[in-house]
Amino acid sequence: MMNIIDFHTHRQNAADAIISVNPWQFDPQPGLWYSVGFHPWYNVDTLTDSDFTQLEQCARHEQVLAIGETGMDSLKGAALDIQAKVFERHLYIAATVAKPVVVHSVRTAQNILSVRRHAGLTSVTLAIHGMRANSHVARTLLDAGCYLSYGVRFNPDALSSTPLDRLLIETDDSDATIDEVATQIAQVLHLSPNEVKSISAANTATLLRTHHSTANK
């Protein structure tokens, strides 16, 4: 039974987690789950059509639950128009395979949403990982149907204003365990760490299921 608590991690052997890899790293191990994509910090301006073909092949794999991480970063990586094109290609692949997208977004919430809108792909669900933005940005993302995934660093107001049915938790590339992340988030939300872990697992299951059924309509 799938019980994914840690929505996004770069630890390659993590159980109960979605392990983020790029297509060249993808080497699925029994019982583990993955997301596959090109991180915007990677040299995304050098990607070729065959790289995206390889991405799409990985994306179809049954142990791949989501596409990403991909997205846009205004502080790092290639020019934003190139990042936007690469992100858009991930969205098309996500729509094709009916899976949600794990999004890295640094000061690019509007860009992310406008790329999705202009591509006509608002049916593709976005989960914003490493959510550190303020509650105003959180509102914008929530109104667009996004899920928000919180790790060790976050804005407490944004976290408090996130409905519990859109909340995910993650370890990302931190040294913290998912229990430590859950404890930190639980304190802000006045919940127990176990409640936070259950919420993240339930929301991940809903996100994957709902997305699959709506995208297939």
Residues at the contact surface with Zn ion, assessed by CB under 5 A: 172
> Among residues 21 and 215, whose Cβ is nearest to Zn ion?
21
String of DSSP letters for 145-169 = T-EEEE-SS--HHHHHTS-GGGEEE
> Among residues 56 and 172, whose Cβ is nearest to Zn ion?
172
Chain centroid to CA 118: 20
CB neighbour class for 125 (10 Å; exposed up to 12, middle 13-18, buried from 19): buried
Residue with CB nearest Zn ion? 172
Q: Supply the minimum distance, in Å, between the C-beta of residue 129 and Zn ion.
A: 6
> Among residues 19 and 158, whose Cβ is nearest to Zn ion?
19
String of DSSP letters for 21-68 = E-TTT--PPTT-EEEE---TTS-GGG--HHHHHHHHHHHTSTTEEEEE
> Among residues 40 and 215, whose Cβ is nearest to Zn ion?
40
String of DSSP letters for 107-139 = S-HHHHHHHHHHTT-TTS-EEEES--S-HHHHH
What spatial distance separates the first Cα and last Cα of the chain, rounded to whole Å? 26
Q: Supply the minimum distance, in Å, between the C-beta of residue 11 and Zn ion.
A: 11
Q: Supply the minimum distance, in Å, between the C-beta of residue 102 and Zn ion.
A: 8
Q: Supply the minimum distance, in Å, between the C-beta of residue 37 and Zn ion.
A: 10
> Among residues 1 and 75, whose Cβ is nearest to Zn ion?
75
Q: Supply the minimum distance, in Å, between the C-beta of residue 194 and Zn ion.
A: 25
